Structure 1
Amino acid sequence: MTFSLLLRDPDTGEFGAAISSSSPAVSARCVNLADGIGGANSQNVTDPRLGFRLLDELRSGADAQSALDTVVDGADPETIDFRQLLVLDREGRTAAFSGGRALGTFGAVTRDNAVAGGNMLASLDVLDAFVDTALSASGRIEERLFAALSAAMDAGGEAGPVHSAGIAVVDDAGWRATDLRVDWDDQDPIAALGRALDVWMPQRDDYISRGINPAAAPSYGVPGDE
């Protein structure tokens, strides 16, 4: 039902996630990011609490694998086998867990600074395309995430149609610098996400400036804003 990626940019310290699914509102339920800490995606038969717990472990100083081991070992033994978890820590170390009752064709790919996982995939080639593109693409982290999401879809994506997608990024603002979601689209949620990204990226940094120092921030460029 879902394929997703966590990515760290070692040059900027930003963390980001890209995700798509046949289910609605996937990004709102499955993606967890924290400034300077890392990220955790909780998917398949999703228990969002597991993503929160993984971030708590990372905040306490655990590395990705230790955080994952602690959360998996402490989870409900009757349900953990349905879960799929991805973790990325502040140093770019990664870890992944796929329970034996994950759906369809499932798996994960872990590299330094990037981890991808999915279930009900057209094939496991989707995950290699996801990670390879994220690590090789140029541009800002949002652009790399979108390129990777598109490459994963071109490699087959899910076995069936997808309906929701999202991209989220944290830098050090204190909130998500980017949080774009298509919660339901019958046609092409990834294309819709790309259109939103095209509108957002030229304004991204201005909205951070406005939040931190509104008196010195650029104008909104709308009638009445001088």
Structure 2
Amino acid sequence: MTFSLVARCAETGMFGIAISSSSPAVAARCSHVRAGIGAVASQNVTDPALGPLALDLMERGLTAGEAVEHIVAQGRFMEYRQLLAVDRAGLTAIHSGTRSLGTWSESRAENVASGGNLLADPGVPQAIVEGFLAATGHLGDRLIAALRAGLAAGGEAGPVHSAGLKIVDKVPWPVADLRCDWTEDCPIEAVATAWEVYKPQLDAYVQRALDPREAPSYGVPGDA
């Protein structure tokens, strides 16, 4: 019921995740990123605790593969879980439990990993990885392009209703956290539209947090 990717920008060190599902509010449960550490998707029959746990392990120095291996060895009900991770070196890892739902598959490359379940076609994660690697521009642009590529390759077996995009950079909070929690239209396009609006303002929002004296005007009615 989900397809996603976790990725690292080799040029900037940003981490991000993009995800879509037929379930409501998928990004609220499944998306986990930490600046300077990595990105993790915890999906299928989701245990949201696995995302922060994997990031904690990578923050302590484990690679993505070591973190996922540790969680699989120590965790409960891992046969139901699908876990994707990318670390600060661009290494990637995926665990797909034997009880992952429906048609499931996974694909990995340097700096990017994709996985999905209840897919319309097992080639969806590979299309996502290829879409990410072929795209250019801001990490957010590349994440959106990859998610669109997955949808074009078949996406989920049924219609998707929610999607999300989350990115971290050099500050300890997400510099972008955009979600469509439910729609009968395409949630990926809803998030893509939100990204196009948000992207030109991203740096300004960070600057307002760090030093509002140097920040640009707010650009809203009543702003002097």
Q: Quickly name the TM-score band, shorter chain normalised.
A: over 0.9
Amino acid in the other structure paired with 1:34: R
- Tell me how far apart the structure 1 counterparts of residues 23 and 81 of structure 2 sit (CA, whole Å): 15
- Tell me how far apart the structure 2 counterparts of residues 191 and 113 of structure 1 sit (CA, whole Å): 24
- Tell me how far apart the structure 2 counterparts of residues 32 and 204 of structure 1 sit (CA, whole Å): 19
Query: Is the 2:105–2:123 Cα contact (8 Å) retained in structure 1?
Result: no
**How far does the alpha carbon of each residue in 1:171-206 deviate from its partner, in whole angstroms, 9 at most, with x for none?**
012210010000001121111111111111111111
| 1:120 positional shift | 0.4
Query: Is the 2:14–2:167 Cα contact (8 Å) retained in structure 1?
Result: yes
Amino acid in the other structure paired with 2:175: A
- Tell me how far apart the structure 1 counterparts of residues 153 and 143 of structure 2 sit (CA, whole Å): 15
The residue correspondences of 1:113-124 to structure 2 (distance < 5 A) are 113-124=111-122
The residue correspondences of 1:12-91 to structure 2 (distance < 5 A) are 12-76=12-76, 79-91=77-89
Establish whether residue 7 from structure 1 lines up as the match of residue 7 from structure 2. Answer: yes
| 1:159 positional shift | 0.5
| 1:168 positional shift | 0.6
Q: How many residues align?
A: 224
Q: Among residues 133, 137, 150, which one is paired with 1:135 in the alignment? A: 133
Amino acid in the other structure paired with 1:54: A
* Matched residue, 1:146: 144
**How far does the alpha carbon of each residue in 1:34-69 deviate from its partner, in whole angstroms, 9 at most, with x for none?**
000001110000000111111111011000111011
- Tell me how far apart the structure 1 counterparts of residues 187 and 34 of structure 2 sit (CA, whole Å): 25
- Tell me how far apart the structure 1 counterparts of residues 221 and 6 of structure 2 sit (CA, whole Å): 39
- Tell me how far apart the structure 2 counterparts of residues 117 and 94 of structure 1 sit (CA, whole Å): 12
RMSD value, Cα: 0.7
Q: TM-score, normalised on structure 2?
A: 0.98
Amino acid in the other structure paired with 2:34: A
- Tell me how far apart the structure 2 counterparts of residues 107 and 221 of structure 1 sit (CA, whole Å): 45
| 1:224 positional shift | 2.1
* Matched residue, 1:160: 158
| 1:223 positional shift | 2.1
- Tell me how far apart the structure 1 counterparts of residues 167 and 198 of structure 2 sit (CA, whole Å): 13
- Tell me how far apart the structure 2 counterparts of residues 103 and 20 of structure 1 sit (CA, whole Å): 15
Amino acid in the other structure paired with 2:54: L
- Tell me how far apart the structure 2 counterparts of residues 222 and 162 of structure 1 sit (CA, whole Å): 34
Amino acid in the other structure paired with 2:70: T
Q: TM-score, normalised on structure 1?
A: 0.97
**SS of corresponding position for 1:108:** strand
**SS of corresponding position for 1:181:** strand
- Tell me how far apart the structure 1 counterparts of residues 192 and 60 of structure 2 sit (CA, whole Å): 35
- Tell me how far apart the structure 1 counterparts of residues 65 and 171 of structure 2 sit (CA, whole Å): 27
The residue correspondences of 1:174-189 to structure 2 (distance < 5 A) are 174-189=172-187
| Long gaps (5+) in structure 1 | none
Amino acid in the other structure paired with 1:120: L
- Tell me how far apart the structure 2 counterparts of residues 55 and 191 of structure 1 sit (CA, whole Å): 29
| 1:129 positional shift | 1.0
**How far does the alpha carbon of each residue in 1:85-108 deviate from its partner, in whole angstroms, 9 at most, with x for none?**
001010000000000000001121
- Tell me how far apart the structure 1 counterparts of residues 38 and 53 of structure 2 sit (CA, whole Å): 13
Amino acid in the other structure paired with 2:182: W
* Matched residue, 2:104: 106
Q: Among residues 202, 205, 211, which one is paired with 2:203 in the alignment? A: 205
